[in-house]
Structure 1
Amino acid sequence: MTTRPSPPRNALPACGVVGATLLALIALGHDGRRIAQLAVLAAPMVLWLAWPLRSTQMRRLRTLLVWLWAMGFALDGTVRAYLLDTYQAAPDSAMVLGAAANTNAREGTEYLWMHWRSAAVWCAVLAVAGTLVGMFARRGAMAPSARPARWAVALLALLLLAACAAYASKPWRRLHPAIFWTQWANSVHTLRSAWADQQTQRDRLMAQARSIAPVISQAGPSTVVLVITDSINRDNMALYGYGRPTTPRLLAHRAQTGGQMAVLKNAWSVDASTLPALRNMFRFGLPDSDNPPHVLALARAAGYKVWWISNHDDLAIEQQHARLADVVDMVNRTPGRASASLDGEILDCVQEALQDASTDRKLIVVHLMGAHPHYSLRFPENANPFDDDVDAVENGLVKDGRSAWVRRFRQEYDAALLYHDFVVSELLQQTRTAGKPGDYRAWMYLSDHGQEVGHVSDRAGHSPSTASGYRIPAVVWRNRQPLPTAEAQQQPFRADWTGWALMDLLHIQWSGQRPERNVLGGAYRWQAPQIPVAVESFSR
């Protein structure tokens, strides 16, 4: 009886270890049947290790090619796993594509510097995988002393046939890392190109606004200031009951102004990143299919002169929104998270706009950095009164098991809010004292989205996966006409409906008004938004 020889020694362990390593990383970044699809796509080069080669040079070449092939799949799985863990997002989601298209190399480096701990963990995972693959890829089959068993040949043939079928299928083939990430880069480039060619879109929006023919219902001078900030979570504002004195000036304004100032207690963003949040604010929270007008275009068509004064250097925001204004003043021209331009730099520019004598109807949009990471750059040097202060907030974070670095970020974040309180309060004071005593003036303040700084998880930064990423402040002041009652101010408010309230503050009437979405009106009716996190109640 003849016994068939076994496959060459070390060939099967090599295939097994390399395949198992790849499968583990694929499973981290994918789910469901996609794990099987990626495994089949990765199979051919792994199976090559079982094919005997006589030449030493060919074996070395095989080792290199298998390692490069495997690391392509490993890197794909690792990046996807990081995005899922941090943002609950896929790389081809609108949020990730928008962020990538709106990020330069410098800002990318600064992002990694802030999140180096998470990056280090995933890089370590990738390094371990690379080491394992490198060690075992060298142990592929050499020239056999006898013909391999038929079952081994049949198994290899079956697996290769499945791989061929996978590559013949476009839905499967496009999941391959080389194809997927090439298409991903093309998508980012296309998005950037679309942003760079926005003049046609702006002309269309202005023409649309003129055809709507909005009218101003109140005679006389009118000045409205809209303050949009970045990454402010209302849970960290003393104005909303926070334990640290982060907003003493806004509290003083509320005491001074009485019924002229409304603090919307339960304000929410419906987006956890800036670009979609601003799009919703200025396009009335309507989908593109409804062809919504732009708030700034409507204001200009009605007769307002519009300013956009910004401490952001952001190409997408400038092209999509700012350039619709009559006057654009981009104070900060240093892009990236490491920009140290403080929001106070815009105060003189706003004062100049308020004193402009060329018109008696003004809409001034102010876009602040707020508490956008890095938090330590959002307040002046040596202006952190919460640094190493063991108070009730610090003790609460310790009790909740927050790490030392998250507690340090919370101190810096609260210091940023204290400086932010100074800037926002100055803007309110400038608005209150602008023009003649009898002139109509209004001011609205809100954040584009929130921020997670140890509130419900041990991390700091943008957070589409927790409610903290959506909890924002919203405050309205005007010197005439009643604001919502104290009871009405407890109603939830959603930031994508900001445009409807702003039209009220501007006294603009037009055919598309929806009174039930105007939080300042008596017909307001709350409707809960769909956000990708579970919220027990929007009323707290």
Structure 2
Amino acid sequence: MTVSSDAADRVHPAAAGPGFAAPVSPHWPDALLKFDAWLSRPRSARAVVAALSVYLLLAANWPLWLELSRIGGAPSVYLRWVGVMALLAGFGTVAVLSLTAWTRGMKPLWFAVVLLSAIAQHYMLTYHVVMDPTMAANAMQTDFHETRDLLSWRLVFNVLLVCALPAWGLLRVRLLPMRPLSQLWRNAMLCAAALAVVAASAVVTSRELAPLMRNHVTLRYMMNPLASLYSASAVVLKPLFTHSRKLIPISGGAALGASYAAQRKPPLFVVVVGETARADHFGLNGYARNTTPELAARQVISWPNVHSCGTNTLASVPCMFSHLGKEGYEGRKDDYETLVDVAQAAGLAVLWIDNQAGCKGVCVRVPTVSASEGLDAATRSALCDGDECLDDVMLKNIDQRLAALPAERRDRGVLLVLHQMGSHGPSYAKRSAPDTKRFMPECTTNVLADCSHGELMNAYDNSIAHTDRFLARTIDWLQAQSQRYDTGMLYMSDHGESLGEYGLFLHGLPYNIAPDVQKHVPMVAWFGDGLKAREHLSAACLSKGRDAALTHDNLYHTVLGVMDLKTPTYKPALDAFAACRGPAA
């Protein structure tokens, strides 16, 4: 008697050892028992990954189908696109999962893919984000407190809705054991066949597919789970295949300028790194609501036409403090010292106070402190919810922290950086104190789609109002230091935020397709009389040029200029205050 090669490769189920599911309760309904019996049939690993691919295509790609219907308008248009994208996403998933089509140890991995797909779909549907590598990097670097704001019962429900059936199926299915060599060539054949279908579909439909993907880049990051797997892999694996970055020093030659030789008082300059603030929601910039009355009362200067380096903290903050500018920073092959390194090398006292999820590598070589460290019980109770605190906490103990810096450096001057929690979403209501909530009612949930547009605007604007008060109190503190220092402050946000425009929420879209509201940021400066006299700085000149187009590229050179620090990396053309500083101004 002859035996087929496939049967010869297989091992009898009774010899498969552990891994078979126990029988279900006989008291279940007949239909459920029959369905469970069907799930429990012995199957090859390739059959399981094919079934999972079909299931994920149908259950975890609703953001993609909805976006295609929005773009296409008429069913006669978008249904063709849905068919093409279904072929690409479905067989693409088969090709990827075929690499895992082994009989042992794969069930947890398969369920992890389902779980990742369910979570990704929830956030794509809820906040209209896409799963590109930048978003994956943000997710991996987000701390617990930011993650907590994104958790909700709706998340649990949506994840269970997608995961329950495949979890049951993976628990009950019996995998047919097979010899490793036989599994290898069968998996390779499945992968090749799936890739052939993908390639053929792309070629046949290229006339429609090419312009669709070129004009709507976000679609490629909405194919689930392919986009999430690709983006997560890119973040994790890319460093392994790139050369090890070395730190390039740029602080050589850094020195104090001529103003320090005969100074009566050292400078104290504060750089406030804002978070998720939009320029068009600042009353100083013409917003219909007066969200910034405290700053307006302190005669600050606001620049309304400023754009960020990135659309997320991970991209923007290091770029802000770099001498390279956006293009140079994004194209760099090595890491470089930053603005705070140069200030420290020149001899100034430098301190970074953080109320965020870290400085993204900017402050690793200078003194750094978390704003929540060393708080007394009363202050923590008033300003903090667990380990997450309002930005006011950065001004607590600030005198002691300043005094703890080396005296010889303080006598030359101080550069102080305050990194805000600002308006970080989606829990905007947590970013303002009760006495700064002037716009009511506000959205109090992190599921923004559950709130009306007015409630969402109220919550966000209250967070801007709180930033207004925090900056005003920072100025007041600086004024109180004027007997000892020549003081000034520069505030600039790291990126903006989508608040429902075009159906988008939060931030982090790829820069080239992100809406302007995620890139258009506020910039505000205040100068004490001592610093203005020291630098011959004309406030009238600065006010006259406030409509100039600026970017994060300007921050490095502007701070060097106002602090009168000499270094070969300084570019006067990028110093936003250069034309208004000096005797001529």
TM range (shorter): 0.5 to 0.7
Q: Unaligned regions of 5+ residues in structure 2, if any? A: 1-36, 65-84, 176-184, 200-222, 240-244, 374-379
Q: Does the residue aligned with 1:211 lie in a helix, a strand or coil? A: coil
| Distance 1:43-1:503 versus aligned 2 partners, 3 A rule | closer
* Partner Cα separation in structure 2 for residue 227 and residue 42 of structure 1: 47
Match in the other structure for 2:371: 331
Q: How much does 1:363 deviate?
A: 0.8
Match in the other structure for 1:453: 499
Give the aligned residue type for 2:295: L
Asked if 1:306 corresponds to 2:350, the answer is yes
* Partner Cα separation in structure 2 for residue 100 and residue 308 of structure 1: 23
* Partner Cα separation in structure 2 for residue 189 and residue 342 of structure 1: 36
The answer on whether the counterparts of 1:304 and 1:363 sit within 8 Å (CA) in structure 2 is yes
Can you list the C-alpha shifts for 1:290-317, whole angstroms capped at 9, x where unaligned? 75431011001112111222323x3x42
Q: 1:234 aligns with which of 273, 279, 285?
A: 279
Can you list the C-alpha shifts for 1:304-348, whole angstroms capped at 9, x where unaligned? 111222323x3x427x233433x43322259x9964422222224
* Partner Cα separation in structure 2 for residue 20 and residue 362 of structure 1: 61
Match in the other structure for 1:162: 189
Q: Does the residue aligned with 1:473 lie in a helix, a strand or coil? A: strand
What CA RMSD, in Å, does the superposition of the two structures yield over aligned residues? 5.0
> How many residue pairs are counted as aligned between the two chains?
439
Give the aligned residue type for 2:55: T
Q: Describe how 1:128-527 pairs up with structure 2 within 5 A.
A: 130=166, 134=169, 162-163=189-190, 165=192, 184=232, 208-219=249-260, 220=263, 221-254=266-299, 261-284=300-323, 285=325, 286-287=328-329, 288-289=332-333, 292-312=336-356, 314=357, 316-317=358-359, 320-325=361-366, 327-333=367-373, 339-352=387-400, 358-373=410-425, 374-381=427-434, 383-388=436-441, 404-436=451-483, 440-454=486-500, 456-457=501-502, 460-464=505-509, 465-478=514-527, 479=529, 480=532, 481-483=537-539, 484-522=541-579
* Partner Cα separation in structure 2 for residue 209 and residue 306 of structure 1: 17
* Partner Cα separation in structure 2 for residue 404 and residue 80 of structure 1: 21
Q: Does the residue aligned with 1:306 lie in a helix, a strand or coil? A: strand
Q: How much does 1:460 deviate?
A: 4.7
| Distance 1:159-1:81 versus aligned 2 partners, 3 A rule | farther
Q: How much does 1:250 deviate?
A: 0.5
* Partner Cα separation in structure 2 for residue 18 and residue 231 of structure 1: 38
* Partner Cα separation in structure 2 for residue 210 and residue 382 of structure 1: 44
| Distance 1:382-1:428 versus aligned 2 partners, 3 A rule | closer
The answer on whether the counterparts of 2:89 and 2:224 sit within 8 Å (CA) in structure 1 is no
The answer on whether the counterparts of 2:129 and 2:504 sit within 8 Å (CA) in structure 1 is no
Match in the other structure for 2:58: 24
* Partner Cα separation in structure 1 for residue 526 and residue 99 of structure 2: 66
Q: How much does 1:76 deviate?
A: 4.7
* Partner Cα separation in structure 1 for residue 402 and residue 188 of structure 2: 72
* Partner Cα separation in structure 2 for residue 493 and residue 211 of structure 1: 27
| Distance 1:239-1:508 versus aligned 2 partners, 3 A rule | same
The answer on whether the counterparts of 1:25 and 1:74 sit within 8 Å (CA) in structure 2 is no
| Distance 1:381-1:473 versus aligned 2 partners, 3 A rule | same
Match in the other structure for 2:93: 38
* Partner Cα separation in structure 1 for residue 113 and residue 335 of structure 2: 41
* Partner Cα separation in structure 1 for residue 99 and residue 340 of structure 2: 56
The answer on whether the counterparts of 1:41 and 1:163 sit within 8 Å (CA) in structure 2 is no
Q: How much does 1:134 deviate?
A: 4.7
The answer on whether the counterparts of 2:253 and 2:567 sit within 8 Å (CA) in structure 1 is yes
* Partner Cα separation in structure 2 for residue 468 and residue 338 of structure 1: 31
Q: Does the residue aligned with 1:278 lie in a helix, a strand or coil? A: helix
Give the aligned residue type for 1:276: A
* Partner Cα separation in structure 2 for residue 402 and residue 107 of structure 1: 19
The answer on whether the counterparts of 1:442 and 1:505 sit within 8 Å (CA) in structure 2 is no
Q: How much does 1:184 deviate?
A: 4.5
Give the aligned residue type for 2:92: Q
The answer on whether the counterparts of 1:98 and 1:188 sit within 8 Å (CA) in structure 2 is no
| Distance 1:332-1:409 versus aligned 2 partners, 3 A rule | farther
* Amino-acid identity (%): 18
Q: How much does 1:160 deviate?
A: 7.0
The answer on whether the counterparts of 2:436 and 2:465 sit within 8 Å (CA) in structure 1 is no
* Partner Cα separation in structure 2 for residue 45 and residue 271 of structure 1: 36
The answer on whether the counterparts of 1:230 and 1:369 sit within 8 Å (CA) in structure 2 is yes
| Distance 1:378-1:160 versus aligned 2 partners, 3 A rule | closer
Q: How much does 1:361 deviate?
A: 0.9
| Distance 1:293-1:216 versus aligned 2 partners, 3 A rule | farther
The answer on whether the counterparts of 1:277 and 1:496 sit within 8 Å (CA) in structure 2 is no
Match in the other structure for 1:535: none
The answer on whether the counterparts of 2:136 and 2:232 sit within 8 Å (CA) in structure 1 is no
* Partner Cα separation in structure 2 for residue 41 and residue 348 of structure 1: 52
Q: Unaligned regions of 5+ residues in structure 1, if any? A: 1-9, 49-61, 141-157, 192-199, 255-260, 395-400, 525-540
Match in the other structure for 1:123: 159
| TM-score after normalising by structure 1 | 0.66
Q: How much does 1:427 deviate?
A: 0.9
Can you list the C-alpha shifts for 1:63-105, whole angstroms capped at 9, x where unaligned? x9999787555445444545666465436x144224313434x
* Partner Cα separation in structure 1 for residue 267 and residue 253 of structure 2: 21
Q: How much does 1:477 deviate?
A: 2.4
| Distance 1:37-1:520 versus aligned 2 partners, 3 A rule | same
Can you list the C-alpha shifts for 1:357-393, whole angstroms capped at 9, x where unaligned? 642411111122212233222222465222238xxxx
Q: Which range is displaced more, 480-489 or 24-33? A: 24-33
Q: Does the residue aligned with 2:526 lie in a helix, a strand or coil? A: strand
| TM-score after normalising by structure 2 | 0.61
Can you list the C-alpha shifts for 1:130-161, whole angstroms capped at 9, x where unaligned? 49x959x9899xxxxxxxxxxxxxxxxx9977
* Partner Cα separation in structure 1 for residue 156 and residue 389 of structure 2: 29
The answer on whether the counterparts of 2:349 and 2:414 sit within 8 Å (CA) in structure 1 is yes
Q: How much does 1:473 deviate?
A: 1.0
